Amino acid sequence: MNIETPPQAATAHGVVERLRTHLNGAIVGQTAFVDRLQLALFADGHILVEGAPGLAKTKAITTLSRAIACDEKRIQFTPDLLPGDLTGTEVYRPEHGTFTFQRGPLFHNLILADEINRAPAKVQSALLEAMAERQITVGGTTYPLPRLFMVMATQNPIEQEGTYPLPEAQLDRFLMHLRIGFPDPAAERTILKIVRGEAMGEAPAPVAAVTEEMIHAARREALQVHVSDALEDYMLHLIFATRSPAGTGAGGSVADKIAWGASPRGTIALDRCTRVHAWMRGADFATPLDVQAVIHDVLRHRLILTFEAEADGITRDGLIDDLIASVPVS
Ligand SMILES: Nc1ncnc2c1ncn2[C@@H]1O[C@H](COP(=O)(O)OP(=O)(O)OP(=O)(O)O)[C@@H](O)[C@H]1O
Ligand SMILES: [Mg+2]
Protein backbone atom coordinates (compact mmCIF):
# COMPACT_ATOMS: atom_id res chain seq x y z
CA MET A 1 0.00 0.00 0.00
CA ASN A 2 1.31 3.42 -0.94
CA ILE A 3 1.96 5.50 2.17
CA GLU A 4 1.35 8.77 0.36
CA THR A 5 -2.19 7.79 -0.56
CA PRO A 6 -4.67 10.47 0.44
CA PRO A 7 -7.66 9.55 2.65
CA GLN A 8 -9.97 6.81 1.42
CA ALA A 9 -12.66 9.04 -0.11
CA ALA A 10 -10.24 11.08 -2.19
CA THR A 11 -8.36 7.98 -3.35
CA ALA A 12 -11.47 6.18 -4.43
CA HIS A 13 -12.60 9.06 -6.59
CA GLY A 14 -9.14 9.86 -7.88
CA VAL A 15 -9.25 6.52 -9.66
CA VAL A 16 -11.83 7.87 -12.12
CA GLU A 17 -9.54 10.56 -13.52
CA ARG A 18 -6.50 8.31 -13.60
CA LEU A 19 -8.31 5.60 -15.49
CA ARG A 20 -10.02 8.05 -17.81
CA THR A 21 -6.75 9.71 -18.78
CA HIS A 22 -5.08 6.37 -19.29
CA LEU A 23 -7.90 4.92 -21.39
CA ASN A 24 -8.52 8.05 -23.46
CA GLY A 25 -4.80 8.30 -24.15
CA ALA A 26 -4.81 4.90 -25.80
CA ILE A 27 -8.33 4.81 -27.24
CA VAL A 28 -9.01 7.91 -29.26
CA GLY A 29 -12.37 9.45 -30.15
CA GLN A 30 -14.44 6.92 -28.21
CA THR A 31 -15.02 8.88 -25.03
CA ALA A 32 -18.59 7.62 -24.57
CA PHE A 33 -17.46 4.01 -24.82
CA VAL A 34 -14.52 4.60 -22.48
CA ASP A 35 -16.84 6.25 -19.98
CA ARG A 36 -19.26 3.31 -20.03
CA LEU A 37 -16.45 0.79 -19.75
CA GLN A 38 -15.43 2.51 -16.52
CA LEU A 39 -19.02 2.75 -15.35
CA ALA A 40 -19.42 -1.02 -15.78
CA LEU A 41 -16.18 -1.63 -13.91
CA PHE A 42 -17.23 0.49 -10.93
CA ALA A 43 -20.75 -0.95 -11.01
CA ASP A 44 -19.32 -4.48 -11.01
CA GLY A 45 -21.31 -5.46 -14.08
CA HIS A 46 -20.78 -7.10 -17.44
CA ILE A 47 -21.25 -5.46 -20.80
CA LEU A 48 -22.37 -6.49 -24.23
CA VAL A 49 -20.78 -4.42 -26.97
CA GLU A 50 -22.04 -4.14 -30.49
CA GLY A 51 -19.86 -2.57 -33.12
CA ALA A 52 -18.11 -3.14 -36.41
CA PRO A 53 -14.72 -4.89 -36.40
CA GLY A 54 -11.62 -2.82 -35.75
CA LEU A 55 -13.14 -0.31 -33.33
CA ALA A 56 -10.61 -0.96 -30.56
CA LYS A 57 -12.72 -3.36 -28.49
CA THR A 58 -9.77 -5.66 -27.90
CA LYS A 59 -7.53 -2.70 -27.30
CA ALA A 60 -9.95 -1.35 -24.68
CA ILE A 61 -9.71 -4.52 -22.59
CA THR A 62 -5.93 -4.76 -22.95
CA THR A 63 -5.52 -1.11 -21.99
CA LEU A 64 -7.80 -1.50 -18.99
CA SER A 65 -6.00 -4.59 -17.74
CA ARG A 66 -2.66 -2.80 -18.09
CA ALA A 67 -4.01 0.12 -16.08
CA ILE A 68 -5.17 -2.06 -13.20
CA ALA A 69 -2.32 -4.53 -13.56
CA CYS A 70 -4.76 -7.41 -13.57
CA ASP A 71 -4.96 -10.30 -15.99
CA GLU A 72 -7.13 -10.54 -19.07
CA LYS A 73 -8.18 -13.24 -21.48
CA ARG A 74 -9.69 -13.10 -24.90
CA ILE A 75 -11.93 -15.97 -25.90
CA GLN A 76 -13.03 -16.27 -29.51
CA PHE A 77 -16.43 -17.94 -29.66
CA THR A 78 -16.77 -20.47 -32.48
CA PRO A 79 -19.39 -23.09 -33.37
CA ASP A 80 -17.17 -25.92 -32.13
CA LEU A 81 -16.48 -24.43 -28.70
CA LEU A 82 -17.56 -26.58 -25.73
CA PRO A 83 -18.65 -25.38 -22.27
CA GLY A 84 -15.56 -27.04 -20.78
CA ASP A 85 -13.36 -24.90 -23.04
CA LEU A 86 -14.56 -21.93 -20.98
CA THR A 87 -14.95 -23.31 -17.49
CA GLY A 88 -12.18 -25.86 -17.42
CA THR A 89 -12.28 -29.64 -17.15
CA GLU A 90 -11.14 -32.46 -14.95
CA VAL A 91 -7.99 -33.97 -16.34
CA TYR A 92 -6.82 -37.48 -15.51
CA ARG A 93 -3.31 -37.66 -14.07
CA PRO A 94 -2.09 -41.21 -14.71
CA GLU A 95 0.97 -40.72 -12.52
CA HIS A 96 -1.29 -40.18 -9.49
CA GLY A 97 -4.29 -42.10 -10.74
CA THR A 98 -6.52 -39.09 -9.93
CA PHE A 99 -8.43 -36.32 -11.64
CA THR A 100 -7.39 -32.71 -11.15
CA PHE A 101 -9.29 -29.64 -12.24
CA GLN A 102 -7.66 -27.69 -15.01
CA ARG A 103 -8.98 -24.12 -14.83
CA GLY A 104 -10.45 -22.73 -18.03
CA PRO A 105 -10.01 -19.23 -19.48
CA LEU A 106 -12.88 -17.80 -17.40
CA PHE A 107 -10.58 -17.75 -14.38
CA HIS A 108 -9.22 -14.30 -15.22
CA ASN A 109 -10.08 -10.75 -14.18
CA LEU A 110 -11.14 -9.21 -17.49
CA ILE A 111 -12.68 -11.46 -20.10
CA LEU A 112 -13.20 -10.46 -23.69
CA ALA A 113 -15.77 -12.87 -25.07
CA ASP A 114 -15.50 -12.16 -28.77
CA GLU A 115 -18.51 -12.80 -31.01
CA ILE A 116 -20.54 -14.72 -28.46
CA ASN A 117 -23.26 -15.29 -31.02
CA ARG A 118 -20.93 -17.63 -32.94
CA ALA A 119 -21.12 -20.35 -30.29
CA PRO A 120 -24.13 -22.56 -29.61
CA ALA A 121 -26.52 -22.11 -26.69
CA LYS A 122 -24.77 -24.52 -24.29
CA VAL A 123 -21.57 -22.49 -24.40
CA GLN A 124 -23.38 -19.18 -24.17
CA SER A 125 -25.25 -20.35 -21.11
CA ALA A 126 -22.02 -21.56 -19.46
CA LEU A 127 -20.67 -18.04 -19.86
CA LEU A 128 -23.86 -16.36 -18.67
CA GLU A 129 -24.09 -18.65 -15.67
CA ALA A 130 -20.51 -17.89 -14.66
CA MET A 131 -21.25 -14.19 -15.10
CA ALA A 132 -24.23 -14.32 -12.79
CA GLU A 133 -22.94 -16.75 -10.18
CA ARG A 134 -19.27 -15.79 -10.19
CA GLN A 135 -18.33 -19.36 -9.59
CA ILE A 136 -17.95 -22.54 -11.58
CA THR A 137 -19.01 -25.99 -10.51
CA VAL A 138 -17.30 -28.97 -12.11
CA GLY A 139 -17.49 -32.55 -10.88
CA GLY A 140 -19.33 -31.55 -7.71
CA THR A 141 -16.72 -28.99 -6.63
CA THR A 142 -17.33 -25.25 -6.78
CA TYR A 143 -14.50 -22.93 -7.71
CA PRO A 144 -14.95 -19.19 -7.11
CA LEU A 145 -14.01 -16.80 -9.89
CA PRO A 146 -11.73 -13.84 -9.08
CA ARG A 147 -13.24 -11.01 -7.04
CA LEU A 148 -12.54 -8.62 -9.90
CA PHE A 149 -14.37 -10.36 -12.71
CA MET A 150 -15.79 -8.50 -15.66
CA VAL A 151 -16.94 -9.83 -18.99
CA MET A 152 -17.09 -7.75 -22.12
CA ALA A 153 -18.88 -9.75 -24.75
CA THR A 154 -19.00 -8.60 -28.33
CA GLN A 155 -21.53 -9.12 -31.07
CA ASN A 156 -20.83 -8.15 -34.62
CA PRO A 157 -23.84 -6.43 -36.23
CA ILE A 158 -22.77 -7.59 -39.70
CA GLU A 159 -22.62 -11.22 -40.90
CA GLN A 160 -25.50 -12.69 -38.96
CA GLU A 161 -25.46 -15.82 -41.09
CA GLY A 162 -24.62 -19.01 -39.22
CA THR A 163 -24.83 -17.33 -35.84
CA TYR A 164 -26.80 -18.20 -32.74
CA PRO A 165 -28.43 -14.98 -31.51
CA LEU A 166 -28.49 -14.84 -27.73
CA PRO A 167 -31.93 -15.50 -26.27
CA GLU A 168 -33.50 -12.20 -25.17
CA ALA A 169 -34.00 -13.55 -21.66
CA GLN A 170 -30.28 -14.12 -21.30
CA LEU A 171 -29.32 -10.67 -22.48
CA ASP A 172 -30.79 -9.45 -19.22
CA ARG A 173 -27.66 -10.64 -17.44
CA PHE A 174 -25.63 -7.88 -19.00
CA LEU A 175 -25.64 -4.67 -17.01
CA MET A 176 -25.43 -2.59 -20.17
CA HIS A 177 -25.60 -3.00 -23.91
CA LEU A 178 -23.28 -0.55 -25.63
CA ARG A 179 -23.07 0.47 -29.24
CA ILE A 180 -19.80 1.80 -30.64
CA GLY A 181 -19.74 3.98 -33.71
CA PHE A 182 -16.90 5.08 -35.98
CA PRO A 183 -14.49 7.76 -34.77
CA ASP A 184 -14.52 11.16 -36.51
CA PRO A 185 -11.81 12.06 -39.07
CA ALA A 186 -9.68 14.01 -36.58
CA ALA A 187 -9.67 11.10 -34.14
CA GLU A 188 -8.92 8.66 -36.92
CA ARG A 189 -5.87 10.73 -37.87
CA THR A 190 -4.66 10.53 -34.26
CA ILE A 191 -5.23 6.76 -34.29
CA LEU A 192 -2.92 6.55 -37.31
CA LYS A 193 -0.25 8.46 -35.42
CA ILE A 194 -0.55 6.25 -32.35
CA VAL A 195 -0.43 3.03 -34.33
CA ARG A 196 2.55 4.24 -36.39
CA GLY A 197 4.30 5.22 -33.18
CA GLU A 198 3.62 1.78 -31.70
CA ALA A 199 4.97 0.11 -34.83
CA MET A 200 8.15 2.20 -34.54
CA GLY A 201 8.57 0.86 -31.03
CA GLU A 202 7.69 4.08 -29.19
CA ALA A 203 7.14 3.53 -25.49
CA PRO A 204 3.47 3.22 -24.60
CA ALA A 205 1.91 5.73 -22.19
CA PRO A 206 2.92 5.20 -18.56
CA VAL A 207 0.76 2.85 -16.55
CA ALA A 208 -2.05 4.48 -14.57
CA ALA A 209 -0.98 3.00 -11.21
CA VAL A 210 -4.45 1.90 -10.25
CA THR A 211 -4.66 -1.12 -7.99
CA GLU A 212 -7.38 -3.69 -7.77
CA GLU A 213 -7.99 -2.61 -4.18
CA MET A 214 -8.69 0.93 -5.41
CA ILE A 215 -11.38 -0.43 -7.70
CA HIS A 216 -13.04 -2.24 -4.79
CA ALA A 217 -12.86 0.91 -2.67
CA ALA A 218 -14.40 2.88 -5.53
CA ARG A 219 -17.22 0.36 -5.80
CA ARG A 220 -18.00 0.61 -2.11
CA GLU A 221 -18.07 4.39 -2.28
CA ALA A 222 -20.28 4.48 -5.36
CA LEU A 223 -22.81 2.25 -3.61
CA GLN A 224 -23.24 4.93 -0.96
CA VAL A 225 -24.48 7.59 -3.38
CA HIS A 226 -27.84 8.81 -2.13
CA VAL A 227 -30.98 8.12 -4.14
CA SER A 228 -34.00 10.04 -2.85
CA ASP A 229 -37.48 8.52 -2.63
CA ALA A 230 -38.60 10.83 -5.42
CA LEU A 231 -35.78 9.60 -7.68
CA GLU A 232 -36.59 6.01 -6.84
CA ASP A 233 -40.20 6.72 -7.85
CA TYR A 234 -38.97 8.19 -11.11
CA MET A 235 -36.94 5.06 -11.89
CA LEU A 236 -39.87 2.79 -11.02
CA HIS A 237 -42.25 4.82 -13.19
CA LEU A 238 -39.85 4.53 -16.10
CA ILE A 239 -39.56 0.77 -15.71
CA PHE A 240 -43.27 0.22 -15.18
CA ALA A 241 -44.04 2.34 -18.23
CA THR A 242 -42.29 -0.35 -20.32
CA ARG A 243 -44.53 -3.09 -18.98
CA SER A 244 -48.29 -3.36 -19.17
CA PRO A 245 -50.02 -2.11 -22.30
CA ALA A 246 -52.96 -1.23 -20.06
CA GLY A 247 -50.68 1.63 -19.27
CA THR A 248 -49.60 3.37 -16.17
CA GLY A 249 -50.83 6.77 -17.16
CA ALA A 250 -48.44 8.61 -19.41
CA GLY A 251 -46.32 5.55 -20.17
CA GLY A 252 -49.23 3.70 -21.82
CA SER A 253 -48.47 4.73 -25.38
CA VAL A 254 -44.87 3.60 -25.04
CA ALA A 255 -45.83 0.24 -23.54
CA ASP A 256 -48.16 -0.38 -26.49
CA LYS A 257 -45.08 -0.72 -28.68
CA ILE A 258 -43.35 -3.13 -26.31
CA ALA A 259 -44.12 -6.84 -26.29
CA TRP A 260 -42.00 -7.49 -23.24
CA GLY A 261 -40.75 -4.86 -20.83
CA ALA A 262 -37.83 -4.60 -18.44
CA SER A 263 -37.47 -7.10 -15.59
CA PRO A 264 -36.63 -6.34 -11.96
CA ARG A 265 -33.03 -6.99 -12.97
CA GLY A 266 -33.46 -3.98 -15.24
CA THR A 267 -34.63 -1.88 -12.29
CA ILE A 268 -31.63 -2.96 -10.25
CA ALA A 269 -29.29 -2.17 -13.14
CA LEU A 270 -30.85 1.27 -13.62
CA ASP A 271 -30.41 2.06 -9.94
CA ARG A 272 -26.83 0.87 -9.87
CA CYS A 273 -25.74 2.61 -13.06
CA THR A 274 -27.45 5.82 -11.93
CA ARG A 275 -25.52 5.80 -8.64
CA VAL A 276 -22.20 5.08 -10.32
CA HIS A 277 -22.84 7.75 -12.93
CA ALA A 278 -23.47 10.30 -10.19
CA TRP A 279 -20.42 9.13 -8.27
CA MET A 280 -18.19 9.32 -11.34
CA ARG A 281 -19.04 12.99 -11.78
CA GLY A 282 -18.17 13.58 -8.14
CA ALA A 283 -21.66 13.89 -6.65
CA ASP A 284 -22.86 12.12 -3.52
CA PHE A 285 -26.51 12.11 -4.59
CA ALA A 286 -28.08 11.13 -7.91
CA THR A 287 -30.48 13.21 -10.00
CA PRO A 288 -32.94 12.49 -12.84
CA LEU A 289 -30.19 13.57 -15.24
CA ASP A 290 -28.07 10.64 -14.07
CA VAL A 291 -30.97 8.30 -14.75
CA GLN A 292 -31.48 9.77 -18.20
CA ALA A 293 -27.78 9.53 -19.00
CA VAL A 294 -27.63 5.78 -18.46
CA ILE A 295 -31.11 4.55 -19.33
CA HIS A 296 -30.43 3.87 -23.03
CA ASP A 297 -27.49 1.58 -22.30
CA VAL A 298 -29.34 -0.08 -19.42
CA LEU A 299 -32.60 -0.79 -21.23
CA ARG A 300 -31.50 -1.21 -24.87
CA HIS A 301 -31.26 -5.00 -24.61
CA ARG A 302 -34.15 -5.47 -22.20
CA LEU A 303 -37.06 -4.31 -24.32
CA ILE A 304 -38.70 -6.48 -26.93
CA LEU A 305 -40.69 -4.44 -29.43
CA THR A 306 -44.01 -5.61 -30.82
CA PHE A 307 -44.08 -6.85 -34.37
CA GLU A 308 -46.06 -3.74 -35.41
CA ALA A 309 -43.56 -1.38 -33.82
CA GLU A 310 -40.69 -3.15 -35.59
CA ALA A 311 -42.59 -2.97 -38.87
CA ASP A 312 -43.13 0.77 -38.34
CA GLY A 313 -39.36 1.15 -38.11
CA ILE A 314 -39.38 2.13 -34.43
CA THR A 315 -36.01 1.59 -32.79
CA ARG A 316 -35.33 0.73 -29.18
CA ASP A 317 -33.32 3.89 -28.74
CA GLY A 318 -36.16 5.96 -30.18
CA LEU A 319 -38.57 4.23 -27.85
CA ILE A 320 -36.38 4.98 -24.83
CA ASP A 321 -36.35 8.64 -25.93
CA ASP A 322 -40.18 8.53 -25.95
CA LEU A 323 -40.13 6.86 -22.56
CA ILE A 324 -38.07 9.69 -21.07
CA ALA A 325 -40.34 12.25 -22.72
CA SER A 326 -43.53 10.61 -21.48
CA VAL A 327 -42.67 9.94 -17.83
CA PRO A 328 -42.69 13.13 -15.76
CA VAL A 329 -39.80 13.66 -13.36
CA SER A 330 -41.21 13.07 -9.91
N1 LIG B 1 -10.36 4.58 -31.25
C2 LIG B 1 -9.14 4.02 -31.40
N3 LIG B 1 -8.08 4.47 -30.73
C4 LIG B 1 -6.86 3.91 -30.89
N5 LIG B 1 -6.61 2.87 -31.70
C6 LIG B 1 -7.63 2.38 -32.41
C7 LIG B 1 -8.95 2.92 -32.29
N8 LIG B 1 -9.77 2.24 -33.11
C9 LIG B 1 -9.01 1.32 -33.69
N10 LIG B 1 -7.72 1.37 -33.26
C11 LIG B 1 -6.62 0.52 -33.72
O12 LIG B 1 -7.17 -0.33 -34.71
C13 LIG B 1 -6.71 -1.66 -34.56
C14 LIG B 1 -7.86 -2.60 -34.34
O15 LIG B 1 -8.29 -2.52 -32.97
P16 LIG B 1 -8.81 -3.78 -32.17
O17 LIG B 1 -8.09 -5.01 -32.57
O18 LIG B 1 -8.83 -3.42 -30.75
O19 LIG B 1 -10.30 -3.83 -32.76
P20 LIG B 1 -11.53 -4.77 -32.39
O21 LIG B 1 -12.68 -3.88 -32.17
O22 LIG B 1 -11.14 -5.69 -31.31
O23 LIG B 1 -11.73 -5.54 -33.75
P24 LIG B 1 -12.39 -7.00 -34.00
O25 LIG B 1 -13.86 -6.82 -33.82
O26 LIG B 1 -12.03 -7.31 -35.40
O27 LIG B 1 -11.77 -7.92 -33.00
C28 LIG B 1 -5.70 -1.66 -33.45
O29 LIG B 1 -4.43 -1.51 -34.00
C30 LIG B 1 -6.07 -0.41 -32.64
O31 LIG B 1 -4.94 0.11 -32.05
MG1 LIG C 1 -10.98 -7.73 -31.24
pLDDT of residue 52: 86
- Where among 213, 237, 253 does a domain terminate? 213
Q: What is the number of domains present in the chain?
A: 2
CA 299 to ligand 1 centroid distance, Å: 26
160/73 same-domain check: yes
Question: Is residue 59 within 6 Å of ligand 1 at its C-beta?
Answer: yes
187/250 same-domain check: no
14 part of a folded domain: yes
Domain of 273, CATH number, reads: 1.10.8.80
* Domain limits for position 259: 224-326
Question: Is residue 54 within 6 Å of ligand 1 at its C-beta?
Answer: yes
Residue nearest to atom 24 of ligand 1 (CA): 53
71/159 same-domain check: yes
CA 27 to ligand 1 centroid distance, Å: 8
21/50 same-domain check: yes
189/236 same-domain check: no
249 part of a folded domain: yes
Domain of 164, CATH number, reads: 3.40.50.300
185/242 same-domain check: no
164/233 same-domain check: no
Looking at the CA of 62, which ligand is closest? 1
CA 149 to ligand 2 centroid distance, Å: 19
Question: Is residue 205 within 6 Å of ligand 1 at its C-beta?
Answer: no
pLDDT of residue 204: 67
pLDDT of residue 205: 65
Residue nearest to atom 25 of ligand 1 (CA): 53
pLDDT of residue 297: 97
Residue nearest to atom 6 of ligand 1 (CA): 56
- Please tell me the pTM assigned to this model: 0.90
CA 60 to ligand 1 centroid distance, Å: 8
pLDDT of residue 134: 94
CA 200 to ligand 1 centroid distance, Å: 17
Question: Is residue 283 within 6 Å of ligand 1 at its C-beta?
Answer: no
pLDDT of residue 206: 66
pLDDT of residue 245: 57
pLDDT of residue 4: 44
43/154 same-domain check: yes
127 part of a folded domain: no
pLDDT of residue 169: 73
241/277 same-domain check: yes
206 part of a folded domain: yes
Q: What is the 3-state secondary structure (H, E, C) of the chain?
A: CCCCCCCHHHHHHHHHHHHHHHHHHHCCCCHHHHHHHHHHHHHCCCEEEECCCCCCHHHHHHHHHHHHCCCEEEEECCCCCCHHHHHEEEEEECCCCEEEEEECCCCCCEEEEECHHHCCHHHHHHHHHHHHHCEEEECCEEEECCCCCEEEEEECCCCCCCCCCCCHHHHCCCCEEEECCCCCHHHHHHHHHHHHHHHCCCCCCCCCCCCHHHHHHHHHHHHCCECCHHHHHHHHHHHHCCCCCCCCHHHHHHHCCEEECCCHHHHHHHHHHHHHHHHHCCCCECCHHHHHHHHHHHHCCCCEECHHHHHCCCCHHHHHHHHHHHCCCC
209/229 same-domain check: no
100 part of a folded domain: no
97 part of a folded domain: no
196/235 same-domain check: no
> Which residues of the chain fall below pLDDT 50?
1-10, 246-251
273 part of a folded domain: yes
**Residue among 30, 191, 192, 202 whose CB has most ligand 1 atoms within 8 A, to mutate:** 191
188/281 same-domain check: no
